[in-house]
């Protein structure tokens, strides 16, 4: 069975500082990896995804994540955060492409 671990439940960071949100997964087969963002009282929005090809994937708002197969990780990074990045971030893994397994989420709080 697949599982996803997000070790950091809460990450406070000052505005314009860099941030890394960690995600590790367990699977014996090839996976697809996703990061979703959830703003208060809203549904999840896809931030970025890794399906195949380049191990470094980027979003339009400055986030990036790197697939590391040997470490079974898919950490999310941003070099300089904004207040508007305050949200809950979920890492997810899929094998079939249909059923997703989500981590417990990381609450990112950007401090002015």
Partner 1 sequence: NAGVMQNPRHLVRRRGQEARLRCSPMKGHSHVYWYRQLPEEGLKFMVYLQKENIIDESGMPKERFSAEFPKEGPSILRIQQVVRGDSAAYFCASSPIGQGQGEQYFGPGTRLTVT
Q: How far is the CB of 20 from partner 1 (least distance, A)?
A: 19
The answer to whether residue 59 forms part of the interface with partner 1 (CB under 8 A) is no
The answer to whether residue 42 forms part of the interface with partner 1 (CB under 8 A) is yes
The answer to whether residue 34 forms part of the interface with partner 1 (CB under 8 A) is yes
Long-range contacts of 100-106 (CB under 8 A, 24+ apart): 100/34, 101/2, 101/3, 101/4, 101/25, 102/4, 102/36, 103/4, 103/5, 103/6, 103/23, 104/6, 104/9, 105/6, 105/9, 105/38, 106/6, 106/8, 106/9, 106/10, 106/11, 106/21, 106/22
Q: Which stretch binds partner 1 (CB under 8 A): 3-11, 20-28, 70-78, 79-87?
A: 3-11
The residue (of 77 and 101) whose beta carbon lies closer to partner 1 is 101
């Amino acid at each position: 069975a697949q599982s996803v671990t997000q070790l950091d439940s809460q990450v406070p960071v000052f505005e314009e500082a860099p941030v890394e949100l960690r995600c590790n997964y367990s699977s014996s087969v090839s996976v697809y990896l996703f990061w979703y963002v959830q703003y208060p009282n809203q549904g999840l929005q896809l931030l970025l995804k890794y399906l195949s090809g380049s191990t470094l994937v980027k979003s339009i708002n400055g986030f990036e994540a790197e697939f590391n197969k040997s470490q079974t990780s898919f950490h999310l990074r941003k070099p300089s955060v904004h207040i508007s990045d305050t949200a809950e971030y979920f890492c997810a893994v899929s094998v079939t492409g249909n059923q997703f397994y989500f981590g417990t989420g990381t609450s990112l709080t950007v401090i002015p």
